Amino acid sequence: MKKPELLVTPKCVEDIRTLAEAGADAVIIGEENFGLRLAGEFKREDLKKAIEIAHQYEVKVYVAVNAIFHNEKIEDLKDYIKFVDEIKADAIVFGDPAVLLFVREVAPTMKLHWNTETTATNWFTCNYWGTKGAKRAVLARELNMDAVIDIKENADVEIEVQVHGMTAMFQSKRTLIGNYFEFQGKKMAVENRSKHDNMFLFDKERGNKYPIFEDKNGTHIMSPADICLIDELADMIDAEIDCFKIDGILKSSEYIVEVTRKYRQAIDLCVEDRDQYEEQKQQFYEEIEKIQPVNRPLDTGFFFKETVY
């Protein structure tokens, strides 16, 4: 039985080494200009250093180029892809066909992972992008477990599933928070708008807090709870899902490293000693629960729910 790749999102170059030692097989990094909702900002020199360190540990590096691109960014996009290829990234994560076309032109040997976060909901779509050159499809977070396994059984490409962390609920290219404050005549009073600070939309009826932040890609509203599937890995491992992703956006480096360590232990145990995993999986869950931020409950997302749109 094969082990799925454990993919993690570091916050900075210094995290690469500690995440490798904690058991990460791959990391996804990038620059805000080109990638969506990254745990940390990696400028060009940071990308280069991160790849050098990761490859020393035989950890793969995937560069996020999955932003929504308008015409004015196209020339910059071509140059960025060329740079990512030159520094020997292991794959580019994309959603826009413009990225695919530029990769064909300037980096034809670069591997591609298709990730739009929302539209990978059936194997026909995954296989379509496979025919265009993608080696992997990242499934929508709104799928239940049966749908995930069904897609894997029929997919001609690798399948990646998020198993931990918050998920995006809404994005607008507009700076909605800034616009709101400006409408009130408080332009200079806008604070806590970045993902480095705590700002929430509060749903009083349900008692939910939705993290919200702005960056160069617009406004993002995130889920009120974190997915945690550390005690539900067996079916996906048996189905041979290719990659499990831990998303560390809005979390500390220490948290991401510790969660990575727990998932490494759980994956290894689930593959090598299933009975032992079944005995220990609740303990893994409880250990993660102890380090959760007080306003971030754990749940299983849509994995065991009917999807409602």
Q: Quickly list DSSP for 268-300.
A: HHHHH-HHHHHHHHHHHHHHHHHHS-TT--EE-
**Three-state secondary-structure class, residue 213:** strand
Q: Where in the sequence of the chain do the CATH 3.20.20.70 domains occur? A: 5-167+227-299
Q: Of 159, 117, 165, 166, which is closest to residue 142 (Cα–Cα)?
A: 117
Q: β-pairing, 298-299 with 112-114? A: unpaired
N residues, the chain: 309
Q: What span, in angstroms and rounded, lies between the C-alpha atoms of 231 and 300?
A: 10
pLDDT digits (tens, 9 = 90+) for 80-99: 999 999 999 999 999 999 99
Q: C-alpha angle with apex 156: 100 to 34, nearest 5 degrees?
A: 25
The full DSSP string for 79-103 is HHHHHHHHTT-SEEEE-SHHHHHHH
8 A C-beta contact, residue 91 and residue 29: no
First to last CA, the chain: 35
DSSP state of 139: P
The CATH architecture that domain 5-167+227-299 belongs to is Alpha-Beta Barrel (3.20)
Q: Of 116, 132, 106, which is closest to residue 66 (Cα–Cα)?
A: 116
Distances (CA, A) of 263 to 4, 41, 100, 122, 292: 11, 24, 32, 27, 15
8 A C-beta contact, residue 277 and residue 266: yes
Q: How confident is the model at residue 214 (pLDDT cuts 50, 70, 90)?
A: confident
Position with higher pLDDT, 248 vs 201: 248
* Cβ contacts of 192-201, under 8 Å, gap ≥ 24: 195/220, 195/249, 195/250, 200/295
pLDDT of residue 82: 97
> What predicted TM-score, i.e. pTM, was given to this entire model?
0.87
pLDDT of residue 199 exceeding 90: no
pLDDT digits (tens, 9 = 90+) for 3-29: 999 999 999 999 999 999 999 999 999
Q: What span, in angstroms and rounded, lies between the C-alpha atoms of 92 and 29?
A: 10
pLDDT digits (tens, 9 = 90+) for 91-134: 999 999 999 999 999 999 999 999 987 789 999 999 999 999 99
Percent of the chain with pLDDT over 90: 66
8 A C-beta contact, residue 23 and residue 57: no
Q: What span, in angstroms and rounded, lies between the C-alpha atoms of 287 and 291?
A: 7
